Amino acid sequence: MPQQNPFQDPLRFERRVPPCAVVIFGANGDLTKRKLLPALYRLAYDRRLAPGFAIVGTSRTILTDDQFRDKMKDAVAAFSEDTKLDEDLWKTFAEGLHYVAGDLGDVALFQRIGEKLAQIDQSRQTGGNVLFYLSTQPSQYALAAQGIGAAGLQHGAGWRRLVVEKPFGHDLASARELSDRLHEVFDESAIFRIDHYLGKETVQNILAFRFGNGIFEPLWNRRYINHVEITAAESIGVEGRGAYYQEAGALADMIQNHLLQVMATIAMEPCASFRATSVRDERSKLLRSMKPMTPDEIRQNAVAGQYGPARIGGGDVPGFRQEPGVNPASTTDTYAAVTLCVENWRWAGVPFYVRTGKRLPKRVTEIAIHFNQAPLAMFDGEMADGTPNLLIVRIQPEEGISLKFLSKRPGAGMKLRPVSMDFNYGSSFGERSPSAYETLLLDALLDDATLYTRQDMVEASWAVVEPIQNVWREESVDFPNYAAGTWGPDAADAMLARRGHIWRKP
């Protein structure tokens, strides 16, 4: 079929999903409860789903349809942050909820799912359209895809798509291996690799901000931008996910995926159109413009940290090694800071400082773009604390954009002081923002992959991250090297100081 202009398709224009079923693997897990069901319920609440919409949950736990419905109702009530559970709507929604128990290694499970889908198709006219969602342990992704393939569920009367959650492998080789297994069953165009940061309103707004306005683009390059900081700080620890987290670490858990995607959005070239392929091609090209570092460069440009115990606000906070499920001698990074350089004409020589960590002083995700100084310092007080012109894109918790500049203080003389021009999402729009999962699920159901990662991007990101992991593994740092509740190890400050910069305190 020739590719249509997505903005002329009435279904997409209204953002309404055609009749279909979603099969969730790992339906008894945390993600299903906390994110997927609340997001799907909200889509129903907003009348974006067709009346015949259905969900088939599957996992090893034995449950009847009714037990599954009850669990999901509790989940929606507990985790829908700003949507009240409407009893009438829930009743209709729950009629489309079904459950099939079984083991992913057993082909009979997939046959049973196939039979269930056929029944649903008959009773609810889903047109054979199915979205499979892998929300299992990552080690089971390939097995689940294989089962779908063995039962022939990847083909049918309607469309068939697959959504996969991160992590996409734990290094370049395993990412390729996973992709090969998925490609045995699904074409790349039917695979939706989710990165929930791309679904955040403020990350999408970066595109609107950059390409919808004429005034910023001329400044968006090495001539005017001095350096860029991307920070994703969390105040929480590993919250019961110690066993998973100690295998991943901050670099793989946040930078390899979320923050490199954010960086690609900030730094990519303008795309020819807002079709999925054009946008993803530009993101991918940007990621491929980062040259993997040598071990010597890594020692200068990457810092690992792990939090130790501390006393915060009158309470004792355990160190990472004391968290449940964590090896008391673990060398996993709970903090990672990296200086990345994009080797293209726009960005050559501009450092991108990217950092993330658990148990930092507060939860904040922001991008700080530091512009060059004025050619001459002519006024008192100017440049006392770094570059005066700073553009801050706040992704969370208070979404907005601020531009900082110097202004004359009232009174005699020419004394300057930094001031701020602020845009705040909440007060400007006063509307609820959809959650990232609502946006992304809706997109996958409408076959819009613009905000999804693609295999070439996954590989490009691993090509940058894997050499860092390798050096960190060989030269273990003396952990813990920052106390819970502080801004990370001193070595991260020293990394910026080498280029004459300091981290912003958000």
Catalytically annotated residues: 258
Minimum Å gap between C-beta 239 and ligand BG6 is 8
Q: Least distance to ligand BG6 from the beta carbon of 291, Å? A: 26
Quick one: 253 or 281, whose CB is closer to ligand BG6?
Answer: 253
CA angle 239, 397, 439 (to 5 degrees): 90
H helix or E strand, kind and range, residue 499? none
For ligand BG6, the closer of residues 96 and 400 by Cβ is: 400
Chain residue at closest Cβ approach to ligand BG6: 253
Q: How far apart are CA 30 and CA 24, in angstroms?
A: 12
Residue placing its CB nearer to ligand BG6 in the complex, 246 or 289: 246
Q: Which residue has the tokens 């003396």?
A: 478
Query: Smaller CB distance to ligand BG6: residue 146 or 365?
Result: 365
445, with CB counted inside 10 A (0-12, 13-18, 19+), is: buried
226 versus 365: smaller Cβ distance to ligand BG6 = 365
CB of 65 to ligand BG6, least distance (A): 31
Cis omega (within 30 of 0) for bond into 318: no
> Residue 113 is encoded by which pair of tokens?
């799912």
Q: Which is nearer to ligand BG6, 239 or 475 (CB)?
A: 239
Contacts of 375 (CB under 8 A, 6+ apart): none
Give the integer Cα–Cα distance in Å for 69 and 66: 5
Q: Smallest gap, in angstroms, from Cβ of residue 398 to ligand BG6?
A: 14
The residue behind tokens 């393939």 is 149
Sheet holding 160-164, edge to edge: 97-101, 54-59, 21-25, 130-134, 160-164, 191-193
Minimum CB separation from ligand BG6 for residue 268, in Å? 21
Count CA atoms within 13 Å of residue 327 on its CB side.
10
Residue type, 298: I
What CA–CA distance (Å, rounded) separates 71 from 87? 15
Residue numbers at the binding site for ligand BG6 (CB under 6 A): 196, 234, 253, 365
Smallest distance from ligand BG6 to CB 355, Å = 14
